[in-house]
Structure 1
Amino acid sequence: MSDRHTTRRRMLQGLAVGAAGLAAGRAGAQEQNAPQSVPGALGAESPAAEAAAITPDTIAHAERVFGVTYTDAEREMLVEEIDQWIDRMVRLRQVDKPNTLAPATIFDPRLPGLAYREQGGTVTGSGRAAGSLPRNDTDIAFAPVWKQAEWIRSRQITSRRLTDIYLARIAQHGPRLECFVTVTADIARREADTADAEIAAGRYRGPLHGIPYGMKDIIDVAGVRGTWGATPWRDRIAEHDAVVTTRLREAGAVLLGKTTNGAIAYGDRWFGGITRNPFNTDEGSSGSSAGSASATAAALVGFGIGTETLGSIVSPSHRCGTTGLRPTFGRVPREGAMALCWSLDKVGPLCRSAEDTAFVLAAINGHNPTESGSLGHGFDCDAGRDVRGMRVGYNPQWFENAADPDRAALQAARDAGVELVEVSMPDLPYDALFAVVEAESAAAFEQLTLSNQDDSLVWQDAAAWPNTWRRARFISAVDMVNVDRLRRQVMTAAHDMFSGVDAVIGPNFAGAMLVITNFTGHPCLAFRSGFVNQRTRTIFGGTANEDETEYRVPYASTLWAPLFEEGNLVALGRAIEERLGVADERPEAFA
């Protein structure tokens, strides 16, 4: 990779399926009301009819799409047996392939022959004093989880009261933000009452016990709508809990409802509206973990659960000012979450402080034996760790044209006593990796394309899913194999870069690091590093309209770490957060 600084706008405009909102998971619940094959759909005609239409001229015209050139004799030879290839593909398309069916080839971020530090599962807080319970409900709602947890543990507040505070705020502000698909008030009150009874009986489960949260809508809760944000599934009811849902319930967390995501985990536009940024409600919150970011930033929940495939935690955290932790690929189970891209999907928390993310990750981390690609790796974290002497990588060129908050974050790391080390990645065609997302997501939702039900999705644009999936039909299988080989090369290069540091710091979208680390499986923490004045933006960061009014909106920077070293991210993020002093500023309209 060249050392040119890549601005957020340039990166986002270059991602047809990128940082504006992709996301996670693998669906374990039974699909209901899913599109079915229909007569006359693409691929449903007889092989003979299809083959009869293929001529040497057809091949000649197709060559330009695939970037190859054949002779007339070669085209004649291709036509002779192409009907057999078409027949195989037609019959394959007619095989039922539910979203729960994962490919046989499984991505593993660990390089062969390397050992990764074992961790037992010890997570401790920073030791900061939570102070007395505020008298004002709004102050209670905006408090980070680490404070709320102490107030609940010490019985200064009940889970039921905290839950009612959030339910009232959802009723008041949720419609304006369009951040909830379903509010589960009855479930929330029941779980809160259970938490209070357990705590009163001396059975305190830990820092999430009694804390209300929002679950991204592509992650299933049994008996509750799981719409995936898309019109074809708007009435779908999940039959089973996702593994993450079960683990949060076991931790004692209280489910407030299902937060919005862009349709099929892309962007902030869903069948019921556009999820809003609390700091400027004229613009979307980005995505695809749109609702979890919006609701967390506006204090409608204690924390949110999001997912990321290629920016869906980082991008809404950048837009809304939340702290988003994208874990190492495979660390958190995805069973029961919608599958978008099996080799990239990840589940992680969106919070109001770096320390909070450690408590959530500790609750949802761990191997799932019924899930391919799930990794069993412990999670150790000392949120109050002294970061002096930590080796932190950075690339000076990333900061040459960086925004002031990025420079402030770098200075805060320096002031915290870390040792800054220059790092770089080789010059490689990282954008070629996008083919993985396009092809895997097109396969996961093939029936929408084949049945033309992709026309029912609310977002219809050159960058939207329907067009992306049609285009994916023209990705060469040979090129896909070579893209996978490039991915291995990038994994090796990333390992070399991370092997000499404890973490890396930089602007969110600089140096292709968002792309690189999503494809290598490395974890990252997007944290609020300051504020900037911006006109209302489109989903990709461009100016949305002619209105020249500028809004004071949050800005995020990112920390990356070696595989499984999220503890470094939390400790360093907390240290930087304390020095910057911007994490507690609230959106005025919701404060």
Structure 2
Amino acid sequence: MTETISEADIAGAERLLGLAYTARERAQMVGNLDGQRDLAIARRTLPLDNGTPMACRFDPRLPGFAMPHGVDALQLSEPSAPLPSDPEDIAFAPLTHLSQWVRRGQITSAALTELYLERIAALNPKLECFATVTPDLARAEAAAMDSLLQAGVWLGPLHGIPYGLKDLFDTKGIITGWGAEPFQDRVPDSDATVTTRLRAAGAVLIGKTTLGALAYNDLWYGGWTRNPWNLHEGSSGSSAGSASATAAGLCGFSIGTETLGSITSPSQRCGTTGLRPTFGRVSRAGAMALCWSLDKVGPICRSVEDTGLVLAALNGGDAADRGSIAAPFQFDATAGIDGMTLGYLPEAFEEGATDVDRAALAAARDLGITVKEVTIEDLPYASLMMTVYAEAAAAFEALTLEDTDDTLTWQDEGAWPNTFRKARFISAVDLVQTDRLRYRVMQAVAEMMSGVDALIGPFSTGPMLVASNFTGHPCLHIRAGFEDIASRTAASLGAGKLTTGEAAGEKTFTVPHGISLWGQLFDEGPLLNLGMALEQKLGVAERRPTFPT
């Protein structure tokens, strides 16, 4: 039986919410709070699974917005590189090259698939980046793609290319475990829309890549996903396995998701090229929901042009996803960047920025385009995080109500279960006001971006990591250089997760460091053109990890 709420209970709750009522006000409330609480308890008796969406929908378009394009259009470069004799050179080749070699019969999809399967067998025990490898399925799909080519049928640039799929996308009959112990035996009976679209594009599913438990960091029920450039540290998260596998040359490309840094952060750590498209562009139907108003799907590759190639296959409205927005995607890889204007926030390149960050800005200036300072309204951007806490707690309410969160290996003050629990103490009024703040942030970012084609900056310095994820703007993260630094285990792991001999102490490792570019809503094409030019100028994209221990 639920106890009656007292004035003392109200006074205690005030401290949790940062409020102060008078004794008279508490006396007025005490008689009717029981009913309000009981309504919430009654609602909890109705199970809501992860696939039940919110009725409210987020739309990144402000009044007056017009789609920049009317139809889809994709124009890729035409590489002429010969097929290498070294299997490693093939494994690390960009998709544009792999696609041409397969299409021209210089290598079969079956041979390419075997090459990647052999690399997975050798390196996955070190990296722990695949939760499930699907060799039989991959061989069957590769054989089917080779048969289609022999019959004169080509499904597009991804035809016959093996890829890794983040293990929060449903794959019929194949475990989709969300990285978390309570779901590690979960086998869906249908495919996610992303799975279906990639199959239709001819891509070959080689395995399910790891994610930190419930899309948090790089620890999952099977282990700890490593950075190929330093096996003493995690690959960051939550698209941990996708970035690690792609950086290590274990697949042609991979798929990641981002709520708040889950494509950009592992791309920063592993040196991959991650594209987080505009919110709503890619369907999330059949994918684990973490935050319905924030989750986004995008490619993780080894070059900028490759991300556009994959996005073209993923793009398209989907009635099965309430957040989906039908938007044409245009990308011409042969287009130049003459006349573009690139903005930057000066404060983002000051405290907290690195020499690599500043060198990337200097390289952008050398591209011959206009590079200018911009400003953004001073708002409490970090307060938007309450939306993440609340939506994630709602998505996994059953875990904390039923205490099944205790089965998760990672339990500390920063991990999801504790965040889920503390989110109960966010007031509904504060959450509504946070959503109104979000609209103000949308206006502020739109104003800042109004005079530029794109913005450049360190991905986690300044307000843009948070702000752009909440406004839905696209972000391209590319490798910009390298740093010699000690292992970042403390930031990646909870207490007690290191085993004897795992810590590298103060030994330094040469690891990648990247830079982010943010573009206009639903206009990723110019963003990719700018990224291609900067990628070429920086000249560091082709360096490969050596898996140092």
Q: TM range, normalised to the smaller chain?
A: over 0.9
- 2:502 matches 1:554: no
- 2:137 matches 1:179: no
- 2:535 matches 1:583: no
1:370 CA drift (Å): 2.4
Give me the whole-angstrom Cα distance separating, in 1, the residues matched to 2:514 and 2:244: 15
User: Does the 8 Å contact 1:130/1:151 carry over to 2?
Assistant: no
Give me the whole-angstrom Cα distance separating, in 2, the residues matched to 1:126 and 1:133: 17
1:483 CA drift (Å): 0.2
Mapping 1:233-248, distance limit 5 Å: 233-248=183-198
Secondary structure in 2 aligned to 1:61? helix
Match of 1:29 in 2: none
Give me the whole-angstrom Cα distance separating, in 2, the residues matched to 1:358 and 1:306: 14
TM-score by length of 1: 0.90
**Structure ranking higher on relative contact order (CA contacts 8 Å, 6+ apart):** 1
User: Does the 8 Å contact 1:159/1:196 carry over to 2?
Assistant: yes
Give me the whole-angstrom Cα distance separating, in 2, the residues matched to 1:493 and 1:207: 38
Match of 2:27 in 1: 76
Secondary structure in 2 aligned to 1:341? coil
Give me the whole-angstrom Cα distance separating, in 2, the residues matched to 1:99 and 1:415: 48
Match of 1:280 in 2: 230
In 2 relative to 1, CA 119–549 (structure 1 residues): closer, same or farther, beyond 3 Å? farther
Give me the whole-angstrom Cα distance separating, in 2, the residues matched to 1:318 and 1:282: 16
In 2 relative to 1, CA 551–436 (structure 1 residues): closer, same or farther, beyond 3 Å? same
User: Does the 8 Å contact 1:284/1:539 carry over to 2?
Assistant: no
In 2 relative to 1, CA 464–63 (structure 1 residues): closer, same or farther, beyond 3 Å? same
Q: Which amino acid aligns with 1:436?
A: T
In 2 relative to 1, CA 345–69 (structure 1 residues): closer, same or farther, beyond 3 Å? same
Give me the whole-angstrom Cα distance separating, in 1, the residues matched to 2:111 and 2:385: 46
- 2:251 matches 1:301: yes
Give me the whole-angstrom Cα distance separating, in 2, the residues matched to 1:78 and 1:263: 40
Give me the whole-angstrom Cα distance separating, in 1, the residues matched to 2:493 and 2:405: 26
- 2:329 matches 1:383: no
User: Does the 8 Å contact 1:321/1:556 carry over to 2?
Assistant: yes
1:546 CA drift (Å): 7.3
Give me the whole-angstrom Cα distance separating, in 1, the residues matched to 2:80 and 2:127: 29
1:589 CA drift (Å): 2.9
User: Does the 8 Å contact 1:107/1:343 carry over to 2?
Assistant: yes
Gaps of 5+ in 2: none
1:540 CA drift (Å): 3.3
1:517 to 468, 482, 486: 468
- 2:387 matches 1:436: yes
Secondary structure in 2 aligned to 1:588? coil
1:343 to 285, 293, 296: 293
Mapping 1:503-514, distance limit 5 Å: 503-514=454-465
Q: Which amino acid aligns with 1:256?
A: I
Match of 1:452 in 2: 403
Secondary structure in 1 aligned to 2:2? helix
Q: Which amino acid aligns with 2:544?
A: R
Identity %: 56
- 2:9 matches 1:51: no
Q: Which amino acid aligns with 2:276?
A: R
Give me the whole-angstrom Cα distance separating, in 2, the residues matched to 1:377 and 1:275: 34
User: Does the 8 Å contact 2:400/2:420 carry over to 1?
Assistant: yes
1:565 to 523, 529, 536: 523
Secondary structure in 1 aligned to 2:476? strand
Match of 1:471 in 2: 422
TM-score by length of 2: 0.96
Give me the whole-angstrom Cα distance separating, in 2, the residues matched to 1:233 and 1:140: 36
Give me the whole-angstrom Cα distance separating, in 2, the residues matched to 1:335 and 1:248: 14
Secondary structure in 1 aligned to 2:457? strand
Secondary structure in 1 aligned to 2:132? strand
Q: Which amino acid aligns with 2:138?
A: A
Runs of 4+ in 1 over 4 A off after TM superposition: 541-546
CA deviation map 1:304-357 (0-9, x unaligned):
100000000000000000000000000000000000000000000000000000
Q: How many residues align?
A: 540
1:75 CA drift (Å): 1.1
User: Does the 8 Å contact 1:130/1:146 carry over to 2?
Assistant: no
1:499 CA drift (Å): 1.7
Give me the whole-angstrom Cα distance separating, in 2, the residues matched to 1:460 and 1:418: 48
Secondary structure in 2 aligned to 1:420? strand
Larger mean Cα displacement after TM superposition, 417-426 or 463-472: 417-426
Mapping 1:184-583, distance limit 5 Å: 184-401=134-351, 402-538=353-489, 540=491, 547-583=505-541
Give me the whole-angstrom Cα distance separating, in 2, the residues matched to 1:203 and 1:405: 45
CA deviation map 1:455-512 (0-9, x unaligned):
1111101000111011100001000010000000000111111121111111111211
Give me the whole-angstrom Cα distance separating, in 1, the residues matched to 2:339 and 2:77: 18
1:411 CA drift (Å): 2.2
Mapping 1:29-40, distance limit 5 Å: none
1:404 CA drift (Å): 2.2
Secondary structure in 2 aligned to 1:149? helix
Give me the whole-angstrom Cα distance separating, in 2, the residues matched to 1:308 and 1:469: 19
- 2:71 matches 1:113: no
Secondary structure in 1 aligned to 2:489? coil
Match of 1:35 in 2: none
CA deviation map 1:339-386 (0-9, x unaligned):
000000000000000000001000000000222110000000012221
**Aligned-pair Cα RMSD in Å:** 1.4
In 2 relative to 1, CA 397–81 (structure 1 residues): closer, same or farther, beyond 3 Å? closer
User: Does the 8 Å contact 1:286/1:539 carry over to 2?
Assistant: no
Give me the whole-angstrom Cα distance separating, in 2, the residues matched to 1:546 and 1:530: 22
Give me the whole-angstrom Cα distance separating, in 1, the residues matched to 2:401 and 2:105: 56
1:539 CA drift (Å): 6.3
1:542 CA drift (Å): 10
Larger mean Cα displacement after TM superposition, 535-544 or 517-526: 535-544
Larger mean Cα displacement after TM superposition, 493-502 or 470-479: 493-502
Secondary structure in 2 aligned to 1:361? helix
Secondary structure in 2 aligned to 1:421? strand
1:238 CA drift (Å): 1.2
Q: Which amino acid aligns with 1:520?
A: T
Secondary structure in 2 aligned to 1:209? coil
User: Does the 8 Å contact 1:416/1:576 carry over to 2?
Assistant: yes
Mapping 1:30-179, distance limit 5 Å: 49-52=1-4, 54-127=5-78, 129-179=79-129
Give me the whole-angstrom Cα distance separating, in 1, the residues matched to 2:323 and 2:546: 43
Give me the whole-angstrom Cα distance separating, in 1, the residues matched to 2:236 and 2:400: 25
Give me the whole-angstrom Cα distance separating, in 1, the residues matched to 2:490 and 2:48: 32
Secondary structure in 2 aligned to 1:155? coil
Give me the whole-angstrom Cα distance separating, in 2, the residues matched to 1:519 and 1:93: 28
Gaps of 5+ in 1: 1-48
